[in-house]
Amino acid sequence: MVSSNTVSQSPMKPNELKSRLESSAFAFRGYNVTNLGRTSEFLDHHAYGSIVRECLVSASAVCADVTGKATDLVSRVERHEETSLETYAEAVALVMAVEQAQIRILDEQFGIPLKQAQFSLGYSLGEITAVALSGVIDLHEAMRVPLTLAEDCAALADDVSLGVLFSRGKLLPLDAIRKLCLEINQTGGGTVGISAILSPNSILLMGQGDTLARLKQAIKEFPERISLRQHDQKFPPMHTPIVWQKNVCDRAAVLMQTLRGGLTAPQPKVLSLVTGKCSYTDINARQILQDWTDHPQLLWDAVYEILRSNVDTVIHVGPEPNIMPATFTRLKENVEVETKGKIGRQALATVVHHPWIKRLLPERTALLRAPAIKQIILEDWLLEQV
Protein backbone atom coordinates (compact mmCIF):
# COMPACT_ATOMS: atom_id res chain seq x y z
CA MET A 1 0.00 0.00 0.00
CA VAL A 2 1.15 3.53 -0.72
CA SER A 3 0.54 6.42 1.63
CA SER A 4 -0.87 9.77 0.58
CA ASN A 5 2.45 11.53 1.00
CA THR A 6 3.64 9.96 -2.27
CA VAL A 7 1.39 12.40 -4.12
CA SER A 8 3.27 15.47 -5.20
CA GLN A 9 1.07 18.46 -4.59
CA SER A 10 1.43 22.10 -5.47
CA PRO A 11 -0.29 24.44 -3.00
CA MET A 12 -3.75 25.27 -4.29
CA LYS A 13 -5.84 28.05 -2.78
CA PRO A 14 -9.59 27.54 -2.23
CA ASN A 15 -10.48 29.98 -5.02
CA GLU A 16 -8.35 28.07 -7.51
CA LEU A 17 -9.83 24.74 -6.45
CA LYS A 18 -13.31 26.21 -6.78
CA SER A 19 -12.53 27.49 -10.27
CA ARG A 20 -11.33 24.01 -11.30
CA LEU A 21 -14.38 22.22 -9.92
CA GLU A 22 -16.11 21.59 -13.25
CA SER A 23 -12.97 19.84 -14.49
CA SER A 24 -12.46 17.88 -11.27
CA ALA A 25 -13.28 14.34 -10.16
CA PHE A 26 -13.79 13.28 -6.55
CA ALA A 27 -12.29 9.86 -5.77
CA PHE A 28 -13.53 8.10 -2.62
CA ARG A 29 -11.37 5.47 -0.93
CA GLY A 30 -12.51 2.08 0.31
CA TYR A 31 -11.80 -0.16 3.29
CA ASN A 32 -8.18 -0.79 4.25
CA VAL A 33 -6.26 -2.29 7.16
CA THR A 34 -5.85 1.27 8.48
CA ASN A 35 -8.84 3.60 8.39
CA LEU A 36 -8.22 6.49 10.79
CA GLY A 37 -5.94 8.72 8.74
CA ARG A 38 -5.85 12.22 10.25
CA THR A 39 -9.40 12.10 11.56
CA SER A 40 -8.34 12.86 15.14
CA GLU A 41 -6.89 16.17 13.91
CA PHE A 42 -10.25 17.01 12.37
CA LEU A 43 -12.02 16.24 15.64
CA ASP A 44 -9.74 18.70 17.44
CA HIS A 45 -10.04 21.38 14.75
CA HIS A 46 -11.83 24.54 15.84
CA ALA A 47 -13.74 24.89 12.56
CA TYR A 48 -14.14 21.27 11.47
CA GLY A 49 -14.58 19.39 14.73
CA SER A 50 -18.34 19.79 15.12
CA ILE A 51 -19.06 18.52 11.60
CA VAL A 52 -16.80 15.49 11.99
CA ARG A 53 -18.25 14.69 15.40
CA GLU A 54 -21.81 14.92 14.06
CA CYS A 55 -21.03 12.55 11.18
CA LEU A 56 -19.29 10.04 13.46
CA VAL A 57 -22.09 10.11 16.03
CA SER A 58 -24.75 9.55 13.35
CA ALA A 59 -22.80 6.69 11.77
CA SER A 60 -22.24 5.15 15.21
CA ALA A 61 -26.00 5.11 15.80
CA VAL A 62 -26.66 3.39 12.47
CA CYS A 63 -23.90 0.85 13.06
CA ALA A 64 -25.20 0.05 16.55
CA ASP A 65 -28.77 -0.27 15.27
CA VAL A 66 -27.79 -2.68 12.48
CA THR A 67 -25.26 -4.82 14.36
CA GLY A 68 -26.80 -4.70 17.82
CA LYS A 69 -23.38 -3.82 19.24
CA ALA A 70 -22.48 -0.63 21.10
CA THR A 71 -20.55 1.63 18.73
CA ASP A 72 -18.69 4.85 19.55
CA LEU A 73 -16.64 6.00 16.58
CA VAL A 74 -15.76 9.30 18.25
CA SER A 75 -14.08 7.49 21.14
CA ARG A 76 -12.31 5.15 18.72
CA VAL A 77 -10.85 8.11 16.85
CA GLU A 78 -9.87 9.87 20.08
CA ARG A 79 -8.10 6.69 21.27
CA HIS A 80 -6.34 6.37 17.90
CA GLU A 81 -7.58 2.77 17.85
CA GLU A 82 -7.56 1.22 14.40
CA THR A 83 -10.29 -1.17 13.31
CA SER A 84 -9.73 -4.86 12.55
CA LEU A 85 -11.60 -7.66 10.84
CA GLU A 86 -13.36 -8.27 14.15
CA THR A 87 -14.67 -4.70 13.98
CA TYR A 88 -15.17 -4.61 10.21
CA ALA A 89 -18.65 -3.10 10.54
CA GLU A 90 -17.21 -0.19 12.50
CA ALA A 91 -14.58 0.28 9.79
CA VAL A 92 -17.31 0.54 7.15
CA ALA A 93 -19.22 3.12 9.20
CA LEU A 94 -16.03 5.04 10.02
CA VAL A 95 -14.79 5.38 6.46
CA MET A 96 -18.19 6.42 5.10
CA ALA A 97 -18.71 8.93 7.93
CA VAL A 98 -15.29 10.53 7.50
CA GLU A 99 -15.81 10.86 3.75
CA GLN A 100 -19.18 12.49 4.36
CA ALA A 101 -17.59 14.89 6.86
CA GLN A 102 -14.81 15.91 4.47
CA ILE A 103 -17.31 16.64 1.69
CA ARG A 104 -19.49 18.65 4.08
CA ILE A 105 -16.52 20.68 5.30
CA LEU A 106 -15.45 21.45 1.73
CA ASP A 107 -18.96 22.66 0.93
CA GLU A 108 -19.93 24.40 4.17
CA GLN A 109 -16.58 26.00 4.98
CA PHE A 110 -15.27 26.78 1.49
CA GLY A 111 -18.32 26.86 -0.78
CA ILE A 112 -16.99 24.01 -2.93
CA PRO A 113 -19.87 21.53 -3.47
CA LEU A 114 -19.43 17.99 -4.74
CA LYS A 115 -22.40 18.30 -7.09
CA GLN A 116 -20.58 20.85 -9.28
CA ALA A 117 -17.72 18.45 -10.07
CA GLN A 118 -17.55 16.71 -13.44
CA PHE A 119 -18.05 13.33 -11.75
CA SER A 120 -17.14 11.23 -8.75
CA LEU A 121 -15.95 7.65 -8.36
CA GLY A 122 -15.03 5.31 -5.54
CA TYR A 123 -12.81 2.31 -5.05
CA SER A 124 -14.70 -0.59 -3.46
CA LEU A 125 -16.68 0.77 -0.48
CA GLY A 126 -16.01 4.27 -1.80
CA GLU A 127 -18.45 3.73 -4.67
CA ILE A 128 -21.34 3.34 -2.22
CA THR A 129 -20.36 6.63 -0.58
CA ALA A 130 -20.01 8.36 -3.95
CA VAL A 131 -23.47 7.20 -5.03
CA ALA A 132 -25.03 8.25 -1.71
CA LEU A 133 -23.42 11.69 -1.59
CA SER A 134 -24.45 12.31 -5.19
CA GLY A 135 -28.05 12.36 -3.94
CA VAL A 136 -29.20 8.95 -5.18
CA ILE A 137 -29.66 7.33 -1.75
CA ASP A 138 -29.37 8.71 1.77
CA LEU A 139 -25.92 7.88 3.14
CA HIS A 140 -27.23 6.24 6.31
CA GLU A 141 -29.75 4.19 4.34
CA ALA A 142 -26.99 3.05 1.98
CA MET A 143 -24.69 2.28 4.92
CA ARG A 144 -27.15 -0.26 6.30
CA VAL A 145 -26.53 -2.71 3.46
CA PRO A 146 -22.76 -3.28 3.92
CA LEU A 147 -23.23 -3.10 7.70
CA THR A 148 -25.84 -5.88 7.61
CA LEU A 149 -23.50 -8.07 5.54
CA ALA A 150 -20.28 -7.08 7.33
CA GLU A 151 -20.08 -9.98 9.77
CA ASP A 152 -20.41 -12.63 7.06
CA CYS A 153 -18.02 -10.81 4.70
CA ALA A 154 -15.42 -10.59 7.47
CA ALA A 155 -15.91 -14.27 8.31
CA LEU A 156 -15.15 -15.20 4.70
CA ALA A 157 -11.77 -13.47 5.03
CA ASP A 158 -10.52 -16.05 7.53
CA ASP A 159 -9.35 -18.52 4.88
CA VAL A 160 -8.67 -16.00 2.11
CA SER A 161 -5.33 -14.69 0.87
CA LEU A 162 -4.74 -11.56 -1.21
CA GLY A 163 -2.25 -11.57 -4.06
CA VAL A 164 -1.02 -9.13 -6.69
CA LEU A 165 -0.47 -10.74 -10.08
CA PHE A 166 1.73 -8.69 -12.38
CA SER A 167 3.96 -8.80 -15.42
CA ARG A 168 6.91 -6.58 -16.19
CA GLY A 169 6.37 -4.77 -19.44
CA LYS A 170 3.72 -6.97 -21.10
CA LEU A 171 -0.04 -6.98 -20.82
CA LEU A 172 -1.57 -9.65 -18.63
CA PRO A 173 -3.54 -12.31 -20.55
CA LEU A 174 -6.74 -11.64 -18.61
CA ASP A 175 -8.92 -14.19 -20.39
CA ALA A 176 -6.36 -16.93 -19.78
CA ILE A 177 -6.18 -15.94 -16.11
CA ARG A 178 -9.98 -15.96 -15.81
CA LYS A 179 -10.06 -19.42 -17.38
CA LEU A 180 -7.37 -20.64 -14.99
CA CYS A 181 -9.43 -19.39 -12.02
CA LEU A 182 -12.44 -21.32 -13.32
CA GLU A 183 -10.36 -24.48 -13.71
CA ILE A 184 -9.06 -24.19 -10.15
CA ASN A 185 -12.57 -23.53 -8.83
CA GLN A 186 -13.87 -26.66 -10.58
CA THR A 187 -11.70 -28.87 -8.38
CA GLY A 188 -13.76 -27.97 -5.32
CA GLY A 189 -10.74 -27.13 -3.18
CA GLY A 190 -11.64 -23.47 -2.68
CA THR A 191 -12.50 -20.46 -4.82
CA VAL A 192 -10.18 -17.92 -6.40
CA GLY A 193 -11.12 -14.85 -8.43
CA ILE A 194 -10.04 -11.46 -9.70
CA SER A 195 -10.97 -8.70 -7.25
CA ALA A 196 -9.60 -5.68 -9.11
CA ILE A 197 -7.91 -4.82 -12.39
CA LEU A 198 -5.38 -2.20 -11.34
CA SER A 199 -3.67 -1.71 -14.70
CA PRO A 200 -3.08 -3.62 -17.93
CA ASN A 201 -0.22 -5.48 -16.23
CA SER A 202 -1.44 -5.86 -12.63
CA ILE A 203 -4.51 -7.31 -10.92
CA LEU A 204 -5.62 -8.20 -7.41
CA LEU A 205 -6.61 -11.80 -6.78
CA MET A 206 -8.28 -13.29 -3.73
CA GLY A 207 -8.29 -17.02 -3.08
CA GLN A 208 -9.29 -19.52 -0.43
CA GLY A 209 -6.98 -22.14 1.01
CA ASP A 210 -4.12 -23.01 -1.33
CA THR A 211 -5.80 -21.73 -4.49
CA LEU A 212 -3.33 -18.86 -4.96
CA ALA A 213 -0.43 -21.28 -4.55
CA ARG A 214 -1.94 -23.54 -7.21
CA LEU A 215 -2.50 -20.57 -9.50
CA LYS A 216 1.08 -19.45 -8.99
CA GLN A 217 2.29 -22.89 -10.02
CA ALA A 218 0.01 -23.00 -13.06
CA ILE A 219 1.06 -19.62 -14.47
CA LYS A 220 4.60 -20.94 -14.85
CA GLU A 221 3.26 -22.64 -17.99
CA PHE A 222 2.17 -19.33 -19.51
CA PRO A 223 4.38 -17.95 -22.29
CA GLU A 224 4.39 -14.56 -20.55
CA ARG A 225 6.58 -14.01 -17.51
CA ILE A 226 4.08 -13.40 -14.71
CA SER A 227 4.69 -13.02 -10.98
CA LEU A 228 2.36 -13.42 -7.99
CA ARG A 229 3.09 -11.65 -4.73
CA GLN A 230 0.96 -12.68 -1.75
CA HIS A 231 0.16 -10.36 1.15
CA ASP A 232 -0.21 -11.21 4.81
CA GLN A 233 -3.13 -8.89 5.56
CA LYS A 234 -6.63 -10.33 5.59
CA PHE A 235 -9.40 -8.63 3.61
CA PRO A 236 -13.07 -9.51 3.10
CA PRO A 237 -13.18 -11.10 -0.38
CA MET A 238 -15.44 -8.47 -1.92
CA HIS A 239 -15.81 -8.27 -5.69
CA THR A 240 -15.08 -12.00 -6.12
CA PRO A 241 -17.20 -15.17 -6.45
CA ILE A 242 -16.21 -16.08 -2.89
CA VAL A 243 -19.06 -13.90 -1.59
CA TRP A 244 -21.55 -16.28 -3.23
CA GLN A 245 -20.86 -18.71 -0.40
CA LYS A 246 -22.74 -16.40 1.99
CA ASN A 247 -25.33 -15.35 -0.61
CA VAL A 248 -24.06 -11.78 -0.30
CA CYS A 249 -25.25 -10.66 -3.76
CA ASP A 250 -28.86 -11.77 -3.39
CA ARG A 251 -29.07 -10.59 0.22
CA ALA A 252 -27.79 -7.16 -0.84
CA ALA A 253 -30.45 -7.03 -3.56
CA VAL A 254 -33.22 -7.88 -1.09
CA LEU A 255 -31.98 -5.26 1.37
CA MET A 256 -31.84 -2.59 -1.33
CA GLN A 257 -35.39 -3.27 -2.53
CA THR A 258 -36.82 -1.38 0.43
CA LEU A 259 -34.24 1.40 0.63
CA ARG A 260 -35.73 4.85 0.17
CA GLY A 261 -34.43 6.67 -2.87
CA GLY A 262 -32.50 5.28 -5.80
CA LEU A 263 -34.88 6.86 -8.33
CA THR A 264 -32.85 9.91 -9.32
CA ALA A 265 -29.73 10.20 -11.44
CA PRO A 266 -26.57 11.12 -9.51
CA GLN A 267 -25.30 14.68 -9.38
CA PRO A 268 -22.48 14.73 -10.21
CA LYS A 269 -22.33 11.66 -12.42
CA VAL A 270 -20.72 8.64 -10.79
CA LEU A 271 -18.03 6.77 -12.70
CA SER A 272 -18.64 3.17 -11.63
CA LEU A 273 -15.78 0.74 -11.09
CA VAL A 274 -18.31 -2.04 -11.70
CA THR A 275 -18.73 -0.99 -15.33
CA GLY A 276 -15.81 1.36 -15.94
CA LYS A 277 -18.28 3.97 -17.20
CA CYS A 278 -20.64 6.66 -15.91
CA SER A 279 -23.45 4.11 -15.92
CA TYR A 280 -25.78 5.24 -13.13
CA THR A 281 -29.23 6.47 -14.20
CA ASP A 282 -32.45 7.16 -12.33
CA ILE A 283 -33.42 3.46 -12.28
CA ASN A 284 -30.34 1.22 -12.16
CA ALA A 285 -28.48 2.10 -8.93
CA ARG A 286 -29.73 -1.01 -7.14
CA GLN A 287 -28.64 -3.31 -9.96
CA ILE A 288 -25.16 -1.81 -10.24
CA LEU A 289 -24.67 -1.91 -6.47
CA GLN A 290 -25.77 -5.55 -6.41
CA ASP A 291 -23.20 -6.30 -9.13
CA TRP A 292 -20.66 -4.36 -7.03
CA THR A 293 -20.61 -7.21 -4.50
CA ASP A 294 -19.09 -9.86 -6.79
CA HIS A 295 -17.82 -8.05 -9.91
CA PRO A 296 -14.12 -7.10 -10.02
CA GLN A 297 -13.22 -3.45 -9.64
CA LEU A 298 -12.32 -2.01 -13.05
CA LEU A 299 -9.91 0.56 -11.69
CA TRP A 300 -7.88 0.83 -14.87
CA ASP A 301 -10.99 1.42 -16.99
CA ALA A 302 -12.02 4.21 -14.61
CA VAL A 303 -8.57 5.81 -14.69
CA TYR A 304 -8.60 5.74 -18.47
CA GLU A 305 -12.07 7.31 -18.54
CA ILE A 306 -10.69 10.17 -16.46
CA LEU A 307 -7.78 10.62 -18.86
CA ARG A 308 -10.16 10.58 -21.85
CA SER A 309 -12.24 13.32 -20.27
CA ASN A 310 -11.22 16.91 -19.65
CA VAL A 311 -10.69 16.30 -15.92
CA ASP A 312 -7.49 18.01 -14.79
CA THR A 313 -7.82 17.60 -11.00
CA VAL A 314 -8.53 14.49 -8.92
CA ILE A 315 -9.59 15.13 -5.31
CA HIS A 316 -9.02 12.07 -3.12
CA VAL A 317 -11.58 11.78 -0.32
CA GLY A 318 -11.35 9.82 2.92
CA PRO A 319 -8.84 8.99 5.64
CA GLU A 320 -5.37 8.45 4.16
CA PRO A 321 -6.41 7.34 0.66
CA ASN A 322 -3.86 5.10 -1.03
CA ILE A 323 -4.79 2.93 -4.02
CA MET A 324 -6.04 5.61 -6.39
CA PRO A 325 -3.37 8.21 -5.53
CA ALA A 326 -0.71 5.55 -6.01
CA THR A 327 -2.23 4.48 -9.33
CA PHE A 328 -2.19 8.00 -10.78
CA THR A 329 1.31 8.67 -9.42
CA ARG A 330 2.69 5.45 -10.88
CA LEU A 331 1.06 6.12 -14.24
CA LYS A 332 2.44 9.66 -14.28
CA GLU A 333 5.96 8.36 -13.60
CA ASN A 334 5.67 5.65 -16.25
CA VAL A 335 4.44 8.07 -18.90
CA GLU A 336 7.22 10.53 -18.08
CA VAL A 337 9.83 7.77 -18.45
CA GLU A 338 8.36 6.52 -21.73
CA THR A 339 8.05 9.98 -23.28
CA LYS A 340 11.40 11.34 -22.15
CA GLY A 341 13.34 12.24 -25.27
CA LYS A 342 10.48 11.14 -27.52
CA ILE A 343 8.05 13.99 -27.14
CA GLY A 344 8.90 17.49 -26.03
CA ARG A 345 7.20 19.37 -23.23
CA GLN A 346 5.60 21.78 -25.68
CA ALA A 347 4.25 18.94 -27.80
CA LEU A 348 2.93 17.17 -24.71
CA ALA A 349 1.23 20.37 -23.58
CA THR A 350 -0.36 20.70 -27.01
CA VAL A 351 -1.82 17.20 -26.76
CA VAL A 352 -3.07 17.85 -23.26
CA HIS A 353 -4.71 21.21 -23.87
CA HIS A 354 -6.06 20.83 -27.42
CA PRO A 355 -8.72 18.11 -27.49
CA TRP A 356 -9.11 18.32 -31.26
CA ILE A 357 -5.53 17.14 -31.70
CA LYS A 358 -6.12 14.33 -29.21
CA ARG A 359 -9.07 13.12 -31.29
CA LEU A 360 -6.89 12.92 -34.38
CA LEU A 361 -4.24 10.84 -32.69
CA PRO A 362 -4.55 7.19 -31.62
CA GLU A 363 -7.01 6.76 -28.77
CA ARG A 364 -4.40 5.72 -26.24
CA THR A 365 -2.78 9.13 -26.56
CA ALA A 366 -5.05 10.03 -23.64
CA LEU A 367 -2.46 8.37 -21.41
CA LEU A 368 -0.15 11.28 -22.17
CA ARG A 369 -2.40 13.43 -19.99
CA ALA A 370 -1.38 11.54 -16.84
CA PRO A 371 1.50 13.92 -15.91
CA ALA A 372 -0.86 16.90 -16.22
CA ILE A 373 -3.41 15.58 -13.70
CA LYS A 374 -3.21 17.40 -10.37
CA GLN A 375 -3.96 15.30 -7.30
CA ILE A 376 -5.26 16.65 -4.02
CA ILE A 377 -5.49 14.59 -0.83
CA LEU A 378 -8.53 16.26 0.66
CA GLU A 379 -7.78 15.57 4.33
CA ASP A 380 -4.31 17.11 3.93
CA TRP A 381 -5.63 20.05 1.92
CA LEU A 382 -8.35 20.86 4.47
CA LEU A 383 -5.92 20.74 7.38
CA GLU A 384 -3.46 23.00 5.53
CA GLN A 385 -6.02 25.80 5.24
CA VAL A 386 -5.67 28.56 7.83
Q: Is 4 inside a domain boundary?
A: no
Give CA separation, 32 vs 125, 247, 268, in Å.
Answer: 10, 23, 26
Q: Is 21 inside a domain boundary?
A: yes
Domain count, the chain: 1
AA identity, residue 86: E
pLDDT given for residue 245 in this prediction: 98
Domain that holds residue 142: 15-155+242-384
Q: Is 214 inside a domain boundary?
A: no
- Kindly tell me if the per-residue pLDDT of 340 is higher than 80: no
Q: Is 235 inside a domain boundary?
A: no
pLDDT 10s digits, 73-123: 999 999 999 999 999 999 999 999 999 999 999 999 999 999 999 999 999
pLDDT given for residue 48 in this prediction: 98
- Structure letter (DSSP) for residue 335: H
Q: Is 336 inside a domain boundary?
A: yes
Residue 36 backbone dihedrals phi, psi, to 5 degrees: -85, -40
- Kindly tell me if the per-residue pLDDT of 342 is higher than 90: no
pLDDT given for residue 343 in this prediction: 57
- Kindly tell me if the per-residue pLDDT of 128 is higher than 60: yes
Characterize the bridge pairing of strands 192-199 and 313-317.
Answer: unpaired
pLDDT given for residue 306 in this prediction: 97
pTM listed for this prediction: 0.92
Q: Give the chain's mean pLDDT.
A: 92
Q: Is 173 inside a domain boundary?
A: no
Give CA separation, 130 vs 23, 137, 173, in Å.
Answer: 17, 10, 31
Q: Is 249 inside a domain boundary?
A: yes
**What is d(CA 188, CA 210) in angstroms, rounded to the nearest whole number?**
12
> The domain that contains 290 carries what CATH number?
3.40.366.10
pLDDT 10s digits, 244-303: 999 999 999 999 999 999 999 999 999 999 999 999 999 999 999 999 999 999 999 999
Angle ∠(371,376,380) on CA atoms, nearest 5:
145
Q: 131-135, 140-144, 164-168: which range is least confident on average?
A: 164-168
